[in-house]
Structure 1
Amino acid sequence: MEIKDQDKAANPVAKDEMYEETVKRLKKLGAEPAVIGEVARTVSVGPLEKLLNLARANSLWPMGFGLACCAIEGLMAANMARFDLARFGYEVMRASPRQADVMLVCGTVTKKAAPFVVRLYEQMAEPKYVIAMGSCAISGGPFVDSYSVVPGVDKLIPVDVYIPGCAPRPDAVIHGFMKLKEKIINPEVVKRGDER
């Protein structure tokens, strides 16, 4: 049985040099055409960073930093049976920043709490992500004119995803996690605030 080269216009994978190299090696090893066809159909060889990003996106460990009502009304409701954040693998909240990938800032950040937010962020290992949840965490909310409120957590640390609402609905919280997952898988699509 003879191995025929695939039409490069019909199969975009055939354009890839790594694919061509793999087929050449398999031919050199004397692999059967069926094996080569199966490898060409199922195996995708790509950069290691893409594989790592895919693994990161599907195994996020959040650390909840609940400062106000958003932590109770939005985050806890998203973990309940009706919305079930656990089905995406985000249910186990970490108590230590050294075990967390994602920092959820939920609620009003006061100037007195700001150093703790920054310290917890700095203690997280790279890569680390931040979700600002609720109007107060995003912009200060109704307390923005207060002398003691930081007008948005993004003034202190870079934020990856904003989940608006007072308090955000549980489906919005899940949508925010899905957007973060999409951002981790495709980092070239959206840049973080500190990388612009």
Structure 2
Amino acid sequence: MLKVICERLRQGHRTAKYPRQDPVLPERFRGLPRLEPGGCPQDCRECLSSCPYGALQVDGGRLRLDMGRCIFCGDCSAACPHEALTFSRDHRLASRTREGLLTDGDVFALAGPLDRRMKKLFGRSLKLRQVSAGGCNACEADLNVLGTLTYDLGRFGIQFVASPRHADGILVTGPVAENMKGALLETYAAIPEPKLVIASGACAIGGGPYRDSPEVNNGLGDLLPVDLYIPGCPPHPYTVLDGLLRMLGRL
């Protein structure tokens, strides 16, 4: 026991300084997209044909990216000879609305807080039931990381619980496979009112790589009222944490 105590003293404080200090993510991390405000200078549209999931569109001569469909593969950025589309290392991607995930180069509106009543209820203590609705386990793995010493989700009063009866809401990952649809709806029904719904990852938001497959529901869609959308494939733990804290009015 003495050796364990000495080792802990040697290691010191291991929890990240976030949110007092912004995280520094690696160079290869693809975060908030940056689109030229004027659109593609040559209108060559090479980036559109390179996107495997139709996340890019041209609207009124301007490029527009749907982060709800985007899996942040970077193929569009590599295909664009004019560098009209690049990815920054900004981890802040979450939005309170589905429309808020559409970006065309203007300033991205960060997720806003819940209304006064809901923030009073959940602002200091939030219990979530995580539902994996047919995901590949990448989103689930990064959510598990939030419980480690580095991120320490519990210091913000946020915890994942085993039963929907003990939860304030659900955090859904995966494209909502047909064989998980009933279980998801039953879990939601078991949570007492008022309750929150969070869609985490491209699959939960719009189906991701499985979009339009007859075996999936293209994410939450209109199945449940969503309070927070967290894009990514998978979302970085800091992206999830940022979205949750902004929803609770903690940032």
TM surpasses 0.5: yes
What is residue 66 of structure 1 aligned with on the other side? 132
Q: What one-letter code is carried by the residue in structure 1 that aligns with 2:245?
A: M
CA RMSD of the aligned region, Å?
Answer: 2.1
Q: What one-letter code is carried by the residue in structure 2 that aligns with 1:78?
A: L
2:207 and 2:219 in contact (8 A); partners too:
yes
Whether 1:133 and 2:133 are equivalent positions in the alignment is no
Q: Distance in 2 between matches of 1:52 and 1:157?
A: 18
User: Within 5 Å, which residues of 2 pair with 1:79-94?
Assistant: 79-91=147-159, 93-94=160-161
Residues 132, 51 of structure 1: alpha-carbon distance in 2 compared, 3 angstrom cutoff: closer
What is residue 221 of structure 2 aligned with on the other side? 154
Q: Distance in 1 between matches of 2:175 and 2:192?
A: 25
2:174 and 2:219 in contact (8 A); partners too:
no
The residue matched to 1:155 in structure 2 has which SS?
Answer: coil
Hey, which of these two has a bigger chunk of strand by percent?
2
Residues 70, 133 of structure 1: alpha-carbon distance in 2 compared, 3 angstrom cutoff: farther
Greater Rg by CA: 1
Give deviations 1:35-82, integer Å, cap 9, x for gaps: xxxxxxxxxxxxxx9577424221111111124224433201222212
Quote how far apart the aligned CAs of 1:176 are.
Answer: 1.7
Give deviations 1:83-126, integer Å, cap 9, x for gaps: 221111113x2222111002010123112211111111111111
Using the size of structure 2 for normalisation, the TM-score is 0.49
What is residue 57 of structure 1 aligned with on the other side? 123
Identical-residue share of aligned pairs (%): 37
Using the size of structure 1 for normalisation, the TM-score is 0.62
Q: What one-letter code is carried by the residue in structure 1 that aligns with 2:223?
A: L
User: Within 5 Å, which residues of 2 pair with 1:111-190?
Assistant: 111-182=178-249
Q: What one-letter code is carried by the residue in structure 2 that aligns with 1:81?
A: L
Q: Distance in 1 between matches of 2:149 and 2:183?
A: 32
2:131 and 2:172 in contact (8 A); partners too:
yes
Quote how far apart the aligned CAs of 1:144 are.
Answer: 0.4
Q: Distance in 2 between matches of 1:157 and 1:50?
A: 22
Q: What one-letter code is carried by the residue in structure 1 that aligns with 2:171?
A: L
Hey, which of these two has a bigger chunk of helix by percent?
1
What is residue 21 of structure 1 aligned with on the other side? none
Q: Distance in 2 between matches of 1:113 and 1:107?
A: 10
Give deviations 1:164-184, integer Å, cap 9, x for gaps: 0011100011012113213xx
**Residue correspondences, number:** 134
Quote how far apart the aligned CAs of 1:154 are.
Answer: 3.1
Q: Distance in 2 between matches of 1:50 and 1:141?
A: 33
What is residue 6 of structure 1 aligned with on the other side? none
Residues 98, 162 of structure 1: alpha-carbon distance in 2 compared, 3 angstrom cutoff: same
- Structure 1 unaligned segments of length 5 or more: list them: 1-48, 186-196
1:161 and 1:179 in contact (8 A); partners too:
no
2:139 and 2:235 in contact (8 A); partners too:
no
1:65 and 1:106 in contact (8 A); partners too:
yes
- Structure 2 unaligned segments of length 5 or more: list them: 1-114
